[in-house]
Structure 1
Amino acid sequence: MVPAMSDEEFDEAVGVALESIPERLASKIDNVAVFVEDVYTPEPWEDPETTLLGLYEGIPLTERGEAPWAMPDRITLYKEPILSICSSREEVVEQVRITVVHEVAHYFGIDDETLHRLGWG
């Protein structure tokens, strides 16, 4: 059974997940906007059945130069797919945390293969 969660409750879970990032890492996160959307809409070149829990869009720290004019990076969490794979509110909160860590790791330049190997896939 998919747990019911209001937008405000889901946003709160995202806030808690962001606050759980250790300060030594959180202090290095700059110019990143975090959003919540209901679902991911695949790009025309993607499989129309593509489902994402989260998405990082930007230039990872490991690849950027000194570009003070850069647009903010963007992390988006997708509420409906996260809810659909969880059976309790506790699972939702944990999956939100995992997804936030995964997307923030991309900001720091960690790729999917490494994240999967470390158990954050």
Structure 2
Amino acid sequence: MDAKTFSGLVSRALDNLPDEFLDLLENIEIAVEDYPSLRQRHGSKRNELLGLYEGVPLTERDTHYGLVLPDKITIFQKPIEAICKTEEEIIDQVEKTVRHEIAHHFGMTDAQLDEIEQRWSKRY
């Protein structure tokens, strides 16, 4: 998939978020990269990381939070494509990855998200 089409999927995933979440996304940059950098991987393999939130979650901000660079969510195209067999799977995985990284922005941990995703998959 070309980079422009993939970026469009990320934009569409953001557009599909409920307004009450979109309204809380302030001072945050959303980026698309082919692969995570060595620094971003933190020891994981090149294709393991699908997305990454870098910043201060809303739950950890206090009255002294201000005049800071934007938080950043990066979605990694090639690792997502590597685990998907069809375009429909890519679309679904992009949606899931965007929601996952935004949940980190709202203060949720990977353990909490894993638990939610396990309960969700048992229903469907």
TM-score, normalised to structure 1's length?
Answer: 0.89
**How high is the sequence identity, in percent, across the aligned residues?**
38
Counterpart CA distance in 1 for 2:100 and 2:79 is 15
The Cα shift of 1:46 comes to 3.6
Q: Secondary structure at the match of 2:53?
A: strand
Q: Aligned letter for 2:37?
A: T
Residue 39 of structure 1 aligns to which amino acid in structure 2?
Answer: Y
Please list every run of 5 or more consecutive structure 2 residues that lacks an aligned counterpart in the other structure. Answer: 119-124
> Which 4+ runs in 1 deviate beyond 6 A?
none
RMSD: 1.8
Cα shift at 1:47: 2.6
Relative to the length of structure 2, the TM-score reads 0.87
Shift, 1:99, TM fit: 0.3
Question: Structure 1, residues 49-73: CA drift from partner, whole Å, max 9, x if none?
Answer: 2520000000000001132212100
- Which letter does structure 2 place at the counterpart of 1:34? I
Query: Which runs of structure 2 are paired with 1:13-28 in the superposition (5 Å)?
Result: 13-28=9-24
Correspondent of 1:87 among 85, 88, 100: 85
CA 1:24–1:88: 2 relative to 1, 3 Å: same
**Counterpart residue type for residue 96 of structure 2:** I
Instruction: With a CA cutoff of 8 Å and minimum separation of 6, indicate the structure with the bigger relative contact order.
Output: 1
Determine which structure has the larger helix proportion and give its number: 2
2:97 aligns with one of 70, 95, 99: 99
How far apart are residue 48 of structure 1 and its match?
5.9
Structure 1's unaligned 5+ residue stretches are none
1:100-119 aligned at under 5 Å gives the runs 100-119=98-117
Report how many aligned residue pairs link the two structures: 116
* Aligned match of 1:76: 74
1:116 to 1:9, Cα distance in 2 relative to 1, 3 A: same
Asked whether the 8 Å contact 2:10–2:98 carries over to 1, the reply is yes
